[in-house]
Amino acid sequence: MSTVDDSSNKVALRDVVIVGGGCYGTFYAGQLMRAASRGKAEYRRLLVVDRSAQCRFALELGSSDTRQLIVQDWSDFFDGYFPSRYPETGNEPADAIVPSPLMPHLMYEWLVRQALARWPERPVETKPLPDGPGTPYDLSAPDGTRYVSYADWICPTHCIEPAICPVISAPRTWEMADAMESLVRKLDAFHPTAGPVLFVCRHRVFGVGMFDVNAVLAGNALVADAGTPGTPVDVLIGTISGCHGAVNLLHLG
């Protein structure tokens, strides 16, 4: 986790990867820069990853000593990024990832590529979820990703998911992580199912949500452990917040 200095209520991070240099990524980078200037956050670098050298981030903010535009496909970037990372321990600041709300399920895709490389002779595939978590919004995409949400309304842009939902003006009584835990137990009753592997995006500072790189490395280790016996198993993998989620079922044959 990122660390917080209790004396100044400062969020301490190391490198922060921002997925996309468009309107969302530029907003998140600007907010983190403001947080740093006001003593509410500290970080080593912001790494903004976008396919275009002329993206909005490049035109409006640009690179400096503490922020860098990396012109690369997102999948290619993460394939090179994660192998050089090791889990941070103790209270040292951690690397974190700021996802875009409109991006593909990138962390799942990376775990699939890792599994294919780990077991080249074994069936590794995305399997349709036979059941959902019972949320009001539940939609399956053609690529097998299931998009779920407790909100059947349009949420405010950059909502930080406070204890009192700003739309219904009532306590937020739900938590997507709990729903994913319950879903694994339900699925496991019919077919061996491991997990859930969850990348939980939480608000950290100035409206910016993120999850730690440690969570991705731990998820990769969980998939490796689940598949080591060599028997068929499914692994539930989700990138979620408190209210919303993108979920996949990884089948190891």
- Residue % of the chain over a pLDDT of 70: 94
Q: Are residues 240 and 182 in the same domain?
A: yes
Q: What is the C-alpha to C-alpha distance for residues 215 and 122, in angstroms, rounded to an integer?
A: 25
Q: Give pLDDT tens digits for 103-119.
A: 789 999 999 999 999 99
39: containing domain: 1-103
Model confidence, pTM: 0.90
Q: Quick one: tokens of 42?
A: 């500290």
Banded pLDDT at 68 (limits 50, 70, 90):
very high
Query: What pLDDT does residue 88 have?
Result: 62
**What would the mean pLDDT of 161-177 be, rounded to a whole number?**
90
Residue 214 lies in a domain: yes
Q: How many domains does the chain have?
A: 2
Q: Which residues touch 221 (CB under 8 Å, ≥6 apart)?
A: none
- Give 199's strand partners: 239
Q: Quick one: tokens of 131?
A: 């059941």
Q: Please, what is the average pLDDT of the chain?
A: 91
Q: What is the C-alpha to C-alpha distance for residues 148 and 143, in angstroms, rounded to an integer?
A: 15
| C-alpha dist (Å) from residue 196 to 79, 193, 218, 222, 240 | 22, 9, 11, 9, 11
Q: Name the least confident of 35-49, 145-159, 233-247.
A: 145-159
Q: Are residues 127 and 188 in the same domain?
A: yes
Indicate the residue among 103, 133, 165 that finishes a domain.
Answer: 103
Indicate the residue among 37, 69, 103 that finishes a domain.
Answer: 103
- Is residue 97 a contact partner of residue 213, using CB atoms and an 8 Å limit? yes
Q: Are residues 86 and 136 in the same domain?
A: no
Query: What pLDDT does residue 1 have?
Result: 45
Q: Give pLDDT tens digits for 188-238.
A: 999 999 999 999 999 999 999 999 999 999 999 999 999 998 999 999 999
CATH of the domain at 21: 3.40.50
**What would the mean pLDDT of 148-160 be, rounded to a whole number?**
88
Residue 112 lies in a domain: no
Query: What pLDDT does residue 176 have?
Result: 95
